[in-house]
Amino acid sequence: MKKKIAVLPGDGVGPEVIDQAVKVLDAVADRFDHFFEYCYADVGAIAIDHHGDPLPEVTLETCLHADAVLFGAIGHPRYDSDPNAQVRPEQGLLRLRKGLGLYANVRPVTTYANLLHLSPLKEEKVKDVDFVIYRELTGGIYFGDKGRTNMEAYDVCTYTRNEVERIARLAFEAAQKRRKKVTCVDKANVLESSRFWRDIVRNLSDDYPEVELDFMYVDNAAMQIIQWPTQFDVVLTSNMFGDILSDEASVISGSMGLLPSASVGVNTSLFEPIHGSYPQAAGEDLANPMAAILSAAMMLESFGLWEEGKAIRNTITHLLERGIGTAELNLENKFSCSQIGDMIAYLLAESESIRLTDQKIAQRISTII
């Protein structure tokens, strides 16, 4: 298979973790006989520095002509400390989402057996957590009519049938490949827009008879994600509710360095780790690249390369089970960002029977294991 991938490393640790993701993709290409063409472009603070624009036209064009976008992170302290800055890195990401027509954010939430102690929740609560949130990205209260006077302010929540149907279908199709359950989260006891969602999702479920559908009010869902997260398989929800719930769920694993994401678009799709630019660690080779590498796995699966995506996931699980990770995971064997990338790429390039030996781990060999 041949695919063109737009690579937007961005700011902070973005370039470092994306370098490791590309390294792993190259290993996958070699092993499974694919060809990935990488087209690099600037976005965020680095784009402001180079072009005076957080999203240069050439970057958007590069993305529009690619089969997928692999994205690092954006943000820089000099803009965070200047509330009056007229041009900001985050503007680039918002414009990119609009330009690519990104309408669905997909956030997997997974825990790993030997990292349960990192979670702020009790280990028995988070063991075997494995669900994914499908958040609508282009409609709802964030994009509705807004207004303000001295006496009042308003934000209108508006959804069209097409906006609800297209993300609902994605959620049902995902559930078919998972544990066949969709939980639609809303506030239908109060909001007309939520009742609109319920009607559409309920009718659409007839096309997926093998998938169980239930509904849950958002306040209850916020509690249930903490109290009983293993009950969820695919969570389907609107823009604002998804914004809140996905951030809540992101802390369950205990490390944002393990959480990938995808944003499905009309024109193409974008894949990125959920962590920020972490500028304090930029250039230090400290960042955890696993979220970026898992984002690359999601990208491969979007191409229909399920075996390749599974191979990446299995390799990362193997490393974690052996107590191998970056410093922030607080495991027995601590390695740098680039060393973790080397290990994953090496294991992918070899047969599935190749595994790390205790001696090699002790020697901290990463380029030739």
Show Cβ contacts of residue 75 under 8 Å, excluding neighbours closer than 6 positions.
11, 12, 44, 45, 89, 90, 276, 277, 279
Contact by Cβ (8 Å): 151, 178: no
Q: Output helix, strand, coil percentages for the chain, rounded to the nearest 5.
A: 45, 20, 35
Contact by Cβ (8 Å): 297, 313: yes
Q: Which residues of 114-125 are buried (b: 16+ CB within 10 A; e: fewer)?
A: ebbebbebeeeb
Burial of 160 (0-12, 13-18, 19+ CB in 10 A): exposed
Burial of 48 (0-12, 13-18, 19+ CB in 10 A): buried
Cα–Cα dist 232/23, whole Å: 33
Contact by Cβ (8 Å): 204, 165: yes
| Known catalytic membership, residue 130 | no
| Known catalytic membership, residue 19 | no
Q: From edge to edge, which strands make up the β-sheet containing 2-10?
A: 35-40, 2-10, 68-73, 270-273, 260-265, 102-110, 130-136, 234-237, 181-186, 212-217
The SS3 call for residue 160 is coil
Q: Looking at residue 113, what DSSP letter applies?
A: G
Please, what is the Cα angle at 32 between 27 and 35, to 5 degrees?
Answer: 70
Q: Which of 207, 214, 219, 310 is catalytic?
A: 219
Q: Which of 82, 207, 247, 310 is catalytic?
A: 247
| Known catalytic membership, residue 187 | yes
Q: Which of 142, 180, 181, 334 is catalytic?
A: 142
| Known catalytic membership, residue 243 | yes
DSSP character string of 217-266: EHHHHHHHHHH-GGG-SEEEE-HHHHHHHHHHHHTTTS-GGG-EEEEEES
Q: Which of 134, 159, 187, 233 is catalytic?
A: 187
* Terminal-to-terminal C-alpha distance of the chain: 28
Q: Which of 80, 130, 243, 285 is catalytic?
A: 243
| Residue labelled with tokens 């050439």 | 58
Catalytic residues: 142, 187, 219, 243, 247
